Structure 1
């Protein structure tokens, strides 16, 4: 017991000395994440962000792992051209190595400090070193204010909800990579009970530096009523997340196709899915937006037996009552709709007028990969190749 008390005393003295150094010397900051402690010198501090530039420099959005393809035909459309849907061209698409060795990767680590936020360059490939913070942690709001401020009502931050899922699948990866590549957000939040796992998650961490995992337990009730379905828990969580932080919410099978900046000028935006409802798979919201609060309040009448009523029918009804508080897109987030999934997995749908596309993967269980989509001759194939390679045309085998 004497020896144990001795070691405890030594550890306590070391911790007090560490706190003294951080507080009184002020030249260095200490960051504590899930399993590692990093010493960050003043050289790692990045300055205050300009409008919508975020804390990441442009070169960090460029990947050397996913390389530009080479056209095989002379009549190929220019890279990024989505006006020609004849799909007569082919590209030599270079293989993507998900297991490449990298001596270091850039990772976004927030410092719980009232004055600054940091971007830390760390030498590690340990995936569990990804920072794990709790929802509504006091550090997050300060971090966003100092690094992700914007003149738009909707900040350029993206949210995902990750409940009851562990291994990340290809389409999850494609969704997150699409917002990273196209929207170039200041930060991407994954809100969930457990961190994703698997090869796609590990690959994502290597090429996308600005992911933060915020841990929260799925809600169990609302308005004194038990929430029966995990989908309903995710519906409520996305609204609470947007109320707290604002930003862009994305479903994990929603793929971004062009920048949402023209819509960020509105306080709140949803898109029609059908003529009688609004989709909640992609939401843009200012922090604590008025329409958002009205929608949350409407959950006082929540009925767990009504599958999509409060998540899609209710906002459509509220949009008719409060039209000045919401901007409604005409199916530009959800086209094709859930009634036309053949256009996603069997046909080639012209999505050139879409902001995003919903894949409805719950209706189609086939497993796709970075390899199989190269020659996949349907809408999913064109979307995946556009996000990964910058073109929608078929790849040579």
Structure 2
């Protein structure tokens, strides 16, 4: 239903009309009312091959836990997630530290589940997420598996001091091992990445001098990925984003045949224009995804507040949750 006071409203789901003049009915989301029963994927490991099977469980705060390079993971993925594209439809997140899942984390995972429809979502980390958004996510997204691994402590005989650098390295190692699509936990998917899965490796420009590592598509053991990992031989912990964003940009000029580069379709607006995320309404109709840069903005959002939040953050959240970007009728 559309607010009858406004004529010529865009159709539900229209992302070309940015007047934001109309209001739509938005369904209520009650995170506590769902049945305690839920369906989840569980690994079944045989002597020669592995499978993913569906099972019904009553546990709301836990999912199957596997170790990185578990002997059957590759078999699970090959048996369940094969496709005609070099990049398998597998989503990866890195989650280090003991902390609750926030609203924007939930929005990221739910966006890939809804838009990309992945075979499986693998969360790699040392501690499983917690909290009400995590429990709700498990009720509505059945194909999440947790891959437990300890954060790396060094690379090329150099100590990795920052957890962000540990996550930078982990995402590359994960993609080398399994292939797939890596997502930052504040990256929101807006349309399917399938047209890009035909390339062996894809990154997007963030600025003109670097490439973003917040969304990466990679075939397993991709050549560009291996070259990038090798470049960490010169890792300097005092250079914040050099190896994670500037280095791949330099390598893309040397090895252009090994990488497809998108023109900011993963990172628009960029980190220098966060006002367009939290104060203005930015036209993201040509984006594959949008990076929220939540480290720069500490406002707490919720299922309720985004209904009437008149900015890009609100429009993106409503698009993922309700299928339209317009404000909700109160």
Q: TM-score range by the shorter chain?
A: over 0.9
2:156 is the alignment partner of 1:156: no
How many matched pairs? 327
- 1:105 CA drift (Å): 1.1
Partners of 1:115 and 1:226 in 2: how far apart?
A: 37
CA distance in 1, matches of 2:116, 2:212: 20
- Superposition pairs of residues 14-33 of structure 1, within 5 angstroms: none
Aligned to 1:274: 207
Matches within 5 A, 1:89-100: 89-100=22-33
- Name the CA shift for 1:175/1:355 in 2 (closer, same or farther; >3 Å): same
Equivalent position SS for 1:258: coil
TM-score, normalised relative to structure 2: 0.97
For structure 2, list consecutive stretches of 5 or more residues without a partner in the other structure: none
- Can you give the 5+ residue segments of structure 1 that lack an aligned partner in the other structure? 1-69
Q: What's 1:317 paired with?
A: 250
Distance 1:164 1:122 in 2: 28
Partner of 1:80: 13
Are 1:102 and 1:125, in contact at CA under 8 Å, matched by a contact in 2? Answer: no
Coordinate RMSD, CA, aligned: 1.0
**Match for residue 70 of structure 2 among 113, 120, 137:** 137
- 1:334 is matched with which residue? 267
TM-score (ref. length: structure 1): 0.81
State the Cα distance separating 1:118 from its structure 2 match: 3.4
Q: Which residue of 1 aligns with 2:225?
A: 292
Does residue 183 in structure 1 map to residue 116 in structure 2?
A: yes
1:66 matched residue in structure 2: none
Higher RCO (CA-CA < 8 Å; seq separation 6+): 2
Q: Which has the higher Rg, Structure 1 or Structure 2?
A: 1
CA distance in 1, matches of 2:164, 2:193: 25
Give me the whole-angstrom Cα distance separating, in 2, the residues matched to 1:229 and 1:251. Answer: 16
Post-superposition Cα deviations, 1:348-390, rounded to whole Å, max 9, x if no partner, equal: 0000000000000000001000000000000000000000000
Match in the other structure for 1:126: 60
**More helix by proportion, 1 or 2?**
1
Distance 2:248 2:49 in 1: 38
Q: Answer yes or no: is the 8 Å Cα contact 2:50–2:73 preserved in 1.
A: no
Q: Report matched runs for 1:230-309 at 5 Å.
A: 230-309=163-242
1:379 matched to 2:320? The reply is no
